[in-house]
């Protein structure tokens, strides 16, 4: 699930084929970068205490890295400390975090534009900004979809955005005052019985349509663009 917006959302593109699970190739790339048994790669994986699942995900990543000879040292911090580090250019190599439900391509600009305070990979590639600008200005849906594809494939190729899992996110619309629709938001995990919560609400019929189904949140590995220096 390497895409920057979830399946089923507007203009999403499946780019999983660009990030295949290939330990042999990973080891070859490490060797090409100068790492190996005599000089193993070690990095820090930061996460926070907001949700227990973050530590679980970090542990899975640590175990997967170990399979190719890489050591990931997990650093667990409280949420405020994580926010300060991630948004104010604090020291980190990689982090795990559960970000907002992302329903459109350009909703991600606050996380990946070069000028964004929360540019989590710290990249300086203004081509990303250009993609967002073109996408926002284009009114033709076919052309917008083509721009969205370019952006998502480019982001996957450069690893500016790396989604590894998701959790359910639901939206519903309530009917009030002579049919005026007011958006309402219902969040949570499946095990918390969201289906029942939505069922108890006065939900507009369109909210049950396929394009109003769950929109997973993204658990992102924020990898600094300048984090790993083979020298």
Distance of CA 131 to the CA centre of its chain: 18
Regarding whether 203 and 131 lie in a shared domain, the answer is no
Q: Residue 189 has what pLDDT?
A: 36
CA 143/CA 134 separation, integer angstroms: 10
Pair of tokens at residue 38: 């005599």
Is residue 110 a part of any domain in this protein?
A: yes
Three-state secondary-structure class, residue 217: strand
Is residue 59 a part of any domain in this protein?
A: yes
Q: Residue 146 has what pLDDT?
A: 96
The number of domains in the chain is: 2
Structural domain boundaries, residue 59: 16-167+217-223
Identify the CATH number of the domain in which residue 50 sits.
3.10.105.10
Regarding whether 185 and 152 lie in a shared domain, the answer is no
Regarding whether 39 and 134 lie in a shared domain, the answer is yes
pTM (2 decimals)? 0.67
Counting Cα atoms < 13 Å in the Cβ hemisphere of 148 gives: 24
Is residue 9 a part of any domain in this protein?
A: no
CA 160/CA 128 separation, integer angstroms: 9
| pLDDT tens profile 72-81 | 999 999 999 9
Q: Which residues of the chain have pLDDT under 50?
A: 180-231
Is residue 186 a part of any domain in this protein?
A: yes
Regarding whether 118 and 21 lie in a shared domain, the answer is yes
Regarding whether 64 and 26 lie in a shared domain, the answer is yes
Q: Residue 2 has what pLDDT?
A: 61
Q: Residue 128 has what pLDDT?
A: 94
Q: Residue 122 has what pLDDT?
A: 86
Residue 147 near residue 131 (C-beta atoms within 8 A): yes
| pLDDT tens profile 8-63 | 788 988 888 888 889 999 999 999 999 999 999 999 999 999 988 899 989 999 99
């Amino acid at each position: 699930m390497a895409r920057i917006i979830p399946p089923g959302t507007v203009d999403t593109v499946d780019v999983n084929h660009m990030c295949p699970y290939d330990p042999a190739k990973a080891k070859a790339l490490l060797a090409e970068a100068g790492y190996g048994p005599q000089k193993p790669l070690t990095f820090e994986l930061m996460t926070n205490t907001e949700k227990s699942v973050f530590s679980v995900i970090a542990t899975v990543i640590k175990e997967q890295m170990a399979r190719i000879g890489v050591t990931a040292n997990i650093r667990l911090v409280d949420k405020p400390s994580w926010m300060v580090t991630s948004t104010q250019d604090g020291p980190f190599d990689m982090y795990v975090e559960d970000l907002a439900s992302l329903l459109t391509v350009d909703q991600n600009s606050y996380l990946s534009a070069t000028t964004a305070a929360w540019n989590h990979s710290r990249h300086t590639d203004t081509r990303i900004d250009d993609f967002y600008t073109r996408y926002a200005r284009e009114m033709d849906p076919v052309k917008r979809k083509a721009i969205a594809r370019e952006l998502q494939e480019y982001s996957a190729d450069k690893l500016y955005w790396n989604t590894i899992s998701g959790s359910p996110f639901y939206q519903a619309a309530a009917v009030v005052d002579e049919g005026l629709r007011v958006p309402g938001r219902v969040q949570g995990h499946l095990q918390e019985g969201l289906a029942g919560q939505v069922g108890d609400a006065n939900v507009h019929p369109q909210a049950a349509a396929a394009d109003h189904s769950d929109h997973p949140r993204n658990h992102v590995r924020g990898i600094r663009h300048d984090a790993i220096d083979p020298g």
